[in-house]
Structure 1
Amino acid sequence: MARSDGRPRYFSALLEQCERHGEFASMLVAGNWSTCVDCAKDAEMAEAAAAQVAWRGQLAARAWDARLGRAAIPERFSDRRLSTYQPTCPEGTRALSVAQRYADNFGAVRRSGACLIFCGDVGTGKTHLAVGVAHAVLEQGGQAVFTSVIRAVRSVKETFGKGVERTEAQALRDLVEPDLLILDEVGVQFGTDAEKLILFEIINGRYESRRPTIIISNLAIGELEKYLGARAVDRLREGGGKVVVFDWESYRGRREVAA
């Protein structure tokens, strides 16, 4: 065989033994003996497979960041998990059990549209449990969104202004489409009829689409029904929806006494 300059090129070869692939010809190339060709191919395939896994991991991480960002969980509650909820009474244990079953069986919950209403005293862990469920839904690949009623209503009312490109239908769709919507601070303000109508549109839209909602309120269930209206509460309780009453001593009150 000739080189590019026309002078002859000489190769040396030895028969070597590969533990995995058996006998192969090792060539002397640029002063180095070549290794098993099949081993080299296996290494290339393993490297390509590792790169594919890393790429998929990056895509999954980006998808997780996107879902977490859209969830809009307040920083104060971002570390809340069902596993970190510590009941201080039998009623708290039962509330945790309800939330855990809801999260563990969210596939069935999503198909039925079953909702939860967490109502009662402040500082008893309602938000902790709701955010814990949200994190579980996110980890299962679903989309959960956390918002206060005030922010939800404002996002819709902002579309009423002149020259606003985003429509009311789009604002409502952003609140209706997520797999789970958590509406916090329901009943904090009295609310106008227009605000209550917007709130009903959100709840009813999710009811019709069989999308679960968790309501968080410091109101007693009777006051909550007056605030939301009978139709809205009926929709929240239909299809296996549950009301969990948090009527035990505040965690924050316990910490203050201990201090």
Structure 2
Amino acid sequence: MELLEKIDAIEKMLEVLGRPPEQLPNCETVFETVLCDKHGEYEQRKRVLTSSLIKLPSPPTRCPGCLREELTFLYAEKKRWEDRTRQQNIDRLLRQLEIPERFVSCTLDNYQPVGKESERALRVCQAYAAKWPERLKQGGGLVMCGKPGTGKNHLALAIARYVIENHQSPVIFTTALKIAREFKSTWSKTATRCENDVISHFTTPDLLIIDEVGVQFGSEAEKLIMFEIINTRYERMKPTILISNQTKEELAAFVSERVIDRMSDGGGCTLSFTWDSYRSKGAA
């Protein structure tokens, strides 16, 4: 990139000017005090080739003050470009996440606990998001289960927003039923995707949030689909968040104890949302 090349060139110029000139064969370094209209006098250098009858001078060095000012400007341009690129990436990832309208404004800051249990759930989710690079290394997931209307979706999607805005991590939010449908669609003779394509889609992003786990009929095929995706993500150290209105015991019976155990590996845990619904107060 031209901007980075300019920064690199000026940094090298300033580095060279900050130390005595290197002695090169058949070259002479000529020093001259010259005046910069902006920064006053400075020592200008130029090399003269002395191996022939005609001396060929190199371009003279520029004013160090001017070089530093230009470098400061280029650094600011680089930051503006990085900030713009970062925001464009965040906007793209948020669009791809397709947050349901009800949860668009959900953040970890505007979740309102209603008691000690919900306060603990918020602290766990805040810590989970704050340690996201560690979660990515260890693959720890979260299980959010319990009563409807207690804030599970709010917290899960707030985590999603946090990791996108702070780490530009790709996130998919879906339901267990949608996963089952996509998987089953590959069994059709006219299907354009195979089972591996579906598995790849759900195992590629840094974070996968699966809502409504346990709502589907619970056939052996659906359980195998769910296990295949969660297990593949587990093996690839990719965090997963499961959301269910069932109790921990009911959920374990559906997805198996082995899945719940694997979700807790790598620093993950299970949160039980046992308090009464407060949807009427704005939570979900």
TM-score with structure 2 setting the length: 0.71
Select 1:235's aligned residue among 245, 259, 262: 262
CA distance in 2, matches of 1:121, 1:210: 29
CA distance in 1, matches of 2:181, 2:124: 31
Amino acid of the residue matched to residue 188 of structure 2? G
List gaps (5 residues or longer) in structure 2.
1-34, 43-61
User: What secondary structure does 2:145 align onto?
Assistant: strand
Aligned to 1:20: 39
CA distance in 1, matches of 2:77, 2:281: 52
Deviation at 1:20, TM superposition (A): 2.7
Select 2:86's aligned residue among 60, 64, 71: 60
User: What secondary structure does 2:143 align onto?
Assistant: strand
* 2:169 equivalent to 1:150: no
Amino acid of the residue matched to residue 110 of structure 2? T
Amino acid of the residue matched to residue 39 of structure 2? R
Deviation at 1:160, TM superposition (A): 2.3
* 2:231 equivalent to 1:204: yes
User: What secondary structure does 1:190 align onto?
Assistant: coil
Q: 1:190–1:227: 8 Å Cα contact kept in structure 2?
A: no
Aligned to 1:75: 101
Q: 2:39–2:66: 8 Å Cα contact kept in structure 1?
A: no
CA distance in 2, matches of 1:47, 1:94: 47
Deviation at 1:132, TM superposition (A): 1.1
1:158-209 per-residue CA deviation (whole Å, 9 max, x = no partner) reads 2222243322212111111211111111112323221221111111111111
Aligned length: 228
Amino acid of the residue matched to residue 92 of structure 2? A
Q: 1:73–1:145: 8 Å Cα contact kept in structure 2?
A: no
User: What secondary structure does 1:204 align onto?
Assistant: helix
Aligned to 1:176: 203
- Computed over aligned residues only, the root mean square deviation of the Cα atoms, in angstroms, reads 2.6
1:196-251 per-residue CA deviation (whole Å, 9 max, x = no partner) reads 21111111111111111111100011111111122222222333331111111211
* 2:247 equivalent to 1:191: no
Deviation at 1:103, TM superposition (A): 0.6
Amino acid of the residue matched to residue 118 of structure 2? G
Q: 1:148–1:185: 8 Å Cα contact kept in structure 2?
A: yes
User: What secondary structure does 1:135 align onto?
Assistant: helix
List gaps (5 residues or longer) in structure 1.
1-15, 24-36
Aligned to 2:125: 99
TM-score with structure 1 setting the length: 0.77
Amino acid of the residue matched to residue 109 of structure 1? R
Question: Residues 55 and 225 (structure 1 numbering): CA distance in 2 closer, same or farther, change over 3 Å?
Answer: same
* 2:238 equivalent to 1:219: no
Aligned to 1:6: none
Amino acid of the residue matched to residue 63 of structure 1? N
Deviation at 1:44, TM superposition (A): 7.3
Question: Residues 94 and 44 (structure 1 numbering): CA distance in 2 closer, same or farther, change over 3 Å?
Answer: closer
Q: 132-141 or 162-171: which moved more? A: 162-171
Aligned to 2:273: 246
Query: 1:95-134 maps to which residues of 2 (within 5 A)?
Result: 95-134=121-160
Deviation at 1:125, TM superposition (A): 0.5
Deviation at 1:147, TM superposition (A): 0.9
Amino acid of the residue matched to residue 229 of structure 1? S
Q: 2:144–2:152: 8 Å Cα contact kept in structure 1?
A: yes
% of aligned pairs identical?
Answer: 39
CA distance in 2, matches of 1:213, 1:44: 47
